[in-house]
Structure 1
Amino acid sequence: MTRELAPPARLTEAGRAEAADWLAGLPGLVAATLDRWELTPERVAAPGGRASMTVLVRRADGGRAALKICAPWHPAAREEAALRRWDGLGAVRALRCDPAAGALLLERLRGETSLRSLPEAKALLEAVSVVRRLWVEPGGPPGGTGGGEHPFPTVEEWTAERAARLRDGELAAAEAEPLVAEALALRDALLADEPERLLLHGDFRQGAVLASDAERAPWLAVGPEPVVGERSYDLARLVRDRLHDLVASPGAAAITRRRLTRLADSVELPAERLRGWALFRAVESAGRAWSAGRPAEAEALLEFAAWL
């Protein structure tokens, strides 16, 4: 059997209590998948994410690829469905999937180089160029257009449990209560008047767009949390990119509002809808960071939300 590979520290530290057994069995699961798919490991991608482990591998034919093992709360089948739907247009390609094992075999990108390596203005331009390609109808054949059945939750369904946890969480009982109340009210209002239902990346940010050697595009998106809803929801996560740099900048509030306006104008979206989703997503993320014992991150997110 292929030698076992240890999960990166970031995934282990972020592991949920209910996933302790999965984390303990992850090295064995990785090794078994490598053997079954005849893959030769090169190294574990680090620092990695909080919901998956990625191993850079060689296939039996010598081709390079990346084996991603998804955590139980990040279904591999749903990610594969989104990648198949995009069929390489703006996103990494899926080569193989085993939903039961949470395993995805992906084309290899240059994981050490994301849009965060570019100057901010250039990075935002490239990010918008990539994300616009991902906004397609959720159903239909790979790479095509049209409606039809699909396996993706709507933004309303995806955010319902998160909104409930935010409403009942520690932030709602603390000094952040006014921001929590505003975030929840904005979510309700935005969902009551949703203008479109497109397939969205769901977690789109500069760090989720990697350099590619593929001839079809220099930058490709990875790691989707695919949902169906309006474009403003997808763009909202991008508004707070490089948050630590923003927090340290003089005039951070004005910079943030200008960035929001530029992003909305770049894809002809109402700035108020983008502001609403950006605020909700920041406050909701702050609630999760606080519950996970990351108070500094939570405070930065709340400060960002206050600028909006």
Structure 2
Amino acid sequence: MFHSNIISIYGEKGKAWLNELPRLVSAISSKLDLRDLIEVTNLTYNYVLSGFHGDNPIILKLGLDNEALNREAFALKCFKGGGAVKVLAEDDGMLLLERAVSGTSLKSYFPTNENESIEIVCKVMQRLHQANIPVAHNFPHIKDWLTALDRDWPIPDAYLKKARELKNQLLQSPASDALLHGDLHHDNILQNGNDWMVIDPKGVIGEPAYEVAALIRNPMPELLNHADATTIIHNRITRFSEPLGIPAKRILDWCFVQAVLAWIWSIEDGCDTSYFEQLTKIFDKILNHDKQ
């Protein structure tokens, strides 16, 4: 998946970078005095290795999107003390990060410990969203991401129209802005001792209700492969509402909007869109049922 993603997005530049990776890793490892580097599983758009700097467990992350990596590092620094891993070093296309230990992800709680996982995520969100939005920053606003919905896409008109209408309604009555993680799902919440830490923030400004949807549509593809996927999704929407003080309808509306947005991003990246097509249908069904 990792190699196909890189080539799909970056073409010949991606192929050249993939071929260059062993040399890059060796040079960085030597320069930063890293040891015991091991490639992590489930690579997607960045090359990630775990290892040690002295006796300290670290993560080395390499990627072609320098802007995204810089924004990730800035977001992690803004979240400092709020449950995010520390940035130890950074350079163009490279981040050296603190590694959570044991590093078990919240995905291990699916599907048997659903309610406990929701409690954990609520606490994580509340800590993260206490971070101050820096006066000078390059974080996009969710409004910037959502402009993609206003263009034409090979997506059924009814879904696009509904996503646009809901997006406009939500943006016209926003809650207070916070610095959001932007991709807060199971694989990005890791156990660190007796606590939980986040990794891989996108860094985006917006209302906290926007943050919930990523968790609700994950883990991929395990959620939609579960026989009771729709029930699980509906239960999550209900259970997130009370502790976060967010109306369930608002969470559901954001879930639908983001499912269509993720569908668009998959089209842009040349990736398989089937997961987000299924998600959109499920959220649409719940929306229609709740109207009755």
TM normalised by structure 2 equals 0.85
Alpha-carbon distance, 1:281 to partner: 0.6
Cross-structure match for 2:38: 43
Report what 2:141 is aligned to.
154
Q: Which moved more, 1:83-92 or 1:298-307?
A: 298-307
Cα shift at 1:255 = 4.2
Q: Which has the higher contact order (CA 8 A, sep 6+)?
A: 2
1:109 to 71, 77, 100: 100
Deviations 1:4-56 (A, max 9, x none): xxxxxx321212443541452240333332222222242111122x2211111
Q: Which residue of 2 aligns with 1:200?
A: 180
Give SS of 1:113's match.
strand
Residues 285 and 301 in structure 1, CA contact (< 8 A), matched pair in contact too: no
**1:126 corresponds to 2:113:** no
Give distance in 1, aligned partners of 2:30 and 2:140. 33
Work out which of the residue numbers 253, 268, 275 in structure 2 matches 1:297. Answer: 275
Aligned-partner residue type, residue 160 of structure 2: V
For the 8 Å contact 1:70–1:103, the answer to whether it is kept is yes
Partner in structure 2 of residue 262 of structure 1: 239
Contact 1:55–1:68 (Cα < 8 Å) also in 2: yes
Aligned residue in 2 for 1:62: 55
Work out the CA distance in 2 between the residues paired with 1:25 and 1:263: 41
1:71 equivalenced with 2:64 (yes/no): yes
Partner of 1:32 in structure 2? 27
Identity %: 26
Structure 1's unaligned 5+ residue stretches are 1-9, 141-147
The Cα offsets for residues 262-304 of structure 1, whole Å up to 9 and x where unpaired, read as 1121200122221221111112212333563424323322233
- Deviation per CA, 1:98-145, whole angstroms, max 9, x where unpaired? 1xx2211111124762111122222121111112111134435xxxxx
SS at match of 2:84: coil
Looking at structure 2, the residues matched to 223 and 19 of structure 1 have their Cα atoms a distance apart, in angstroms, of 24
How many pairs are equivalent? 278
CA contact (8 A) 1:75 1:102 kept: no
After superposition, the Cα gap between the structure-2 partners of 1:254 and 1:280, relative to the gap in structure 1 and judged at 3 Å, is same
Q: 2:149 aligns with which of 142, 156, 163?
A: 163
Residues 19/219 of structure 1: CA separation in 2 closer, same or farther (3 Å cut): farther
Aligned to 2:46: 52
Distance 1:155 1:294, change over 3 A: same
Superposed CA offset, 1:175-195 (max 9, x none): x32112111221122122222
Note the alpha carbon deviations across 1:38-88, whole angstroms, 9 max, x for none: 22242111122x2211111222x3322111113317622111111111114
1:113 to 1:209, Cα distance in 2 relative to 1, 3 A? same
From 205, 225, 235, the counterpart of 1:228: 205
Tell me the TM-score normalised to structure 1 length. Answer: 0.81
- In angstroms, what is the RMSD of aligned CA positions? 2.4
Task: Give the Cα–Cα distance (whole angstroms) in 1 for the partners of residues 283 and 267 of structure 2.
Answer: 15
Shift of 1:93: 1.2
Report if the CA contact (8 A) 2:61-2:94 is conserved.
Answer: yes
Inter-partner Cα distance in structure 2 for 1:74 and 1:300: 31
